[in-house]
């Protein structure tokens, strides 16, 4: 049976310094993310695993609300955690290794839907900073093709139709669980959020936007073994 495996980063743990420290990156990937992979694989190998067997990671997100309660919580938390983190890693880039700002059609859409890149970032920052407890902030493409910003608790994401407050296709996400920033920033979540913009892989986000506009989901390397 095919199972999910932990993805490899496209950069070294220290490549995001000084904005995100190497120790946090290593722990975040090898401990936190790895736990989600292990747990969703446990569901796949369990008595009710047939419900998600053969589904892509993206399809699993969309199916969560219709799953049997016996596995729904585990899939929501661990399947969501695997998807969210995998996307997060692909939209980060080492300092100076990718475009440092939106460009092309995405830039045009941001200016149309938010007024400016600065206004989009301000709204995103506020959304991330005010997410109560643990969760994520997202830049998404809606069913109407317009961009919007939202947040989700825990390991939920906007693909989870019937669960997300505002469903859509995420093209950029930020982890605001404390484990994502506490070693470096302690309780200063806004400082971590501000630093995040220095390591966004806008090349990938532009690619995600193009894919979402075509009706697909973010192109990610989600290997199975």
- pLDDT per position as a tens digit, 117-157: 999 999 999 999 999 999 999 999 999 999 999 999 999 99
* 148 and 208 share one domain: yes
Residues of the chain with pLDDT under 70: 1, 218-225
pLDDT at residue 123, as a whole number = 98
The answer to whether the annotation marks 179 as part of a ligand binding site is yes
Please indicate, yes or no, if residue 30 is contained in any of the structural domains: yes
Q: What is the pTM of this model?
A: 0.95
Q: Is residue 222 part of a domain?
A: no
**Predicted local distance difference test score (pLDDT) of residue 215:** 83
Contact 204, 98 (CB under 8 A): yes
- CATH number of the domain that 195 lies in? 3.55.40.20
- Is residue 159 located within the same domain as residue 129? yes
Task: Indicate whether 6 belongs to any domain.
Answer: no
Asked whether residue 86 falls in the same domain as residue 56, the answer is: yes
At a CB cut-off of 8 Å and minimum separation 6, what does 158 contact?
A: 138, 140, 150, 152, 164, 166, 167, 168, 169, 170
Q: Is 115 left (phi over 0), alpha (psi -120 to 50) or beta?
A: left
- Residue 156 annotated in ligand binding: no
Residue 148 falls within a domain, yes or no?
yes
End-to-end CA distance of the chain: 8
68 inside domain: yes
Q: Is 82 annotated as a binding residue?
A: no
Split into its structural domains, the chain has a count of 2
Last residue of a domain, one of 44, 63, 90: 90
Which range marks the domain in which residue 180 is found? 104-213
Residues 69 and 143 in one domain: no
10 found inside a domain: no
Q: Is residue 133 part of a domain?
A: yes
Q: Is residue 218 part of a domain?
A: no
């Amino acid at each position: 049976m095919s199972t999910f495996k932990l993805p490899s980063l496209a950069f070294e743990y220290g490549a995001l310094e000084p904005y995100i420290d190497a120790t946090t990156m290593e722990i975040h990937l090898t401990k936190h993310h790895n736990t989600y992979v292990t747990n969703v694989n446990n569901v796949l190998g369990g008595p009710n695993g047939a419900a998600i067997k053969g589904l892509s990671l993206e399809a699993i997100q969309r199916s969560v609300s219709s799953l049997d309660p016996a596995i729904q919580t585990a899939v929501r938390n661990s399947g969501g955690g695997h998807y969210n983190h995998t996307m997060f890693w692909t939209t980060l880039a080492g300092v100076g290794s990718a475009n440092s700002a939106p460009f092309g059609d995405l830039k045009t859409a941001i200016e149309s839907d938010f007024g400016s890149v600065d206004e989009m970032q301000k709204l995103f920052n506020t959304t991330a900073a005010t997410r109560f407890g643990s969760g994520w902030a997202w830049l998404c493409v809606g069913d109407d093709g317009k961009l919007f910003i939202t947040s989700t608790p825990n390991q939920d994401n906007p693909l989870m139709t019937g669960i997300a407050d505002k469903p859509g296709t995420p093209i950029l996400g930020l982890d605001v669980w404390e484990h994502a920033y506490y070693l470096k920033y302690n309780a200063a979540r806004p400082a971590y959020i501000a630093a995040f913009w220095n390591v966004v892989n806008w090349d990938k986000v532009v690619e995600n936007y193009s894919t979402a506009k075509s009706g697909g989901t973010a192109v990610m390397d989600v290997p199975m073994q």
